[in-house]
Amino acid sequence: MENLKFKENSAFASLLLPVVAIAALMALLAQGPNEPKVLFMMVVVALWFGCSGSVREIVDELPIYRRERQRDLKLVSYIGSKLVYAGIVAAAQALLLVAVLAVMGALKGHLPKAYLLTWLMTFEGALTGLVISAVCPTADATRMAYSYQLLSAVAITLHQNDSADARTELSGTEGETTQPLETFGRYLAILFGFALLFISAITAALKRKESHGKQA
């Protein structure tokens, strides 16, 4: 099923073109490179695009999934295919987001690390969407859950002086003795832990649906 999605150029492009548009708007709003508000928006945008691209992945395929499970489709294989597809899409979306911001001067320096973290945040968003898709019984329910998550994200805004305060904090940490690689490793460990938690939730939700289907 995932191979068919890659062959549908229009569907795949619909996941990438909005990233370019949003990244360009973010860059136009920036007044210089590496502004805290732009970095903050990168996190929100990455989570949002990741979630929006996967929030209906499972629930739309539920009849097919149940039929294939009766034909010896392994649960780990199904979830693995979803993770591979989500990871590839997230990699492309993160690359476009970072590339557009860098070319337009809104992002400067540490680009490999910025890309890796952006990819991980986009992948975390995709995992969030898969959890919603696995838990919700219908497509309408996924739309309601996703709309709630979107409204919650929009409600998080920067106040007037937050950008300046964040820049001051970032400048004050430049002379600290903490090794950058150590801090970066902590971020990766935290994101990896969340990924394992989300994958466990997806697995549990699918098993629960199977048990309810058998009882029905």
DSSP one-letter string for 2-64: HHHHHH-HHHHHHHHHHHHHHHHHHHHH-SSTT-HHHHHHHHHHHHHHHHHHHTTTTGGGHHH
**CA 188 – CA 167 distance, rounded (Å):** 23
Q: Would 195 be classed as within a structural domain?
A: yes
**CA 171 – CA 184 distance, rounded (Å):** 17
Neighbours of 136 (CB within 10 A): 20
Q: Would 83 be classed as within a structural domain?
A: yes
Q: What is the mean pLDDT of residues 162-179?
A: 52
Q: Would 183 be classed as within a structural domain?
A: yes
Q: Would 164 be classed as within a structural domain?
A: no
What SS3 class is residue 137? coil
The residue range of the domain holding 31 is: 2-157+177-215
Report for 43-52, 94-103, 109-118, 132-141: range of highest mean pLDDT: 94-103
Q: Name, in order, each residue with C-beta under 8 angstroms of 1's C-beta and a sequence gap of 6 or more.
A: 61, 64, 81
In this structure, are residues 24 and 101 in contact, taking their beta carbons and an 8 Å threshold? no
Q: Would 119 be classed as within a structural domain?
A: yes
Q: Would 171 be classed as within a structural domain?
A: no
* Sign of CA pseudo-dihedral 182, 188, 189, 191: positive
Question: pLDDT class for 197, splitting at 50, 70, 90?
Answer: very high
CA 41 from centroid of its chain's CA atoms: 13
Q: Would 126 be classed as within a structural domain?
A: yes
- Residue 34: CA atoms inside 13 Å, Cβ hemisphere, count? 10
pLDDT in tens, 16-56: 889 999 999 999 988 889 888 888 899 999 999 999 888 88
- pLDDT(145) > 70: no
Which letter does DSSP use for residue 214 in this model? H
Q: What is the pLDDT of residue 53?
A: 86
Total count of domains within the chain = 1
Q: Would 81 be classed as within a structural domain?
A: yes
Q: What is the pLDDT of residue 91?
A: 96
CA 12 from centroid of its chain's CA atoms: 16
Indicate the helix (H) or strand (E) that contains 98.
Answer: helix 75-103
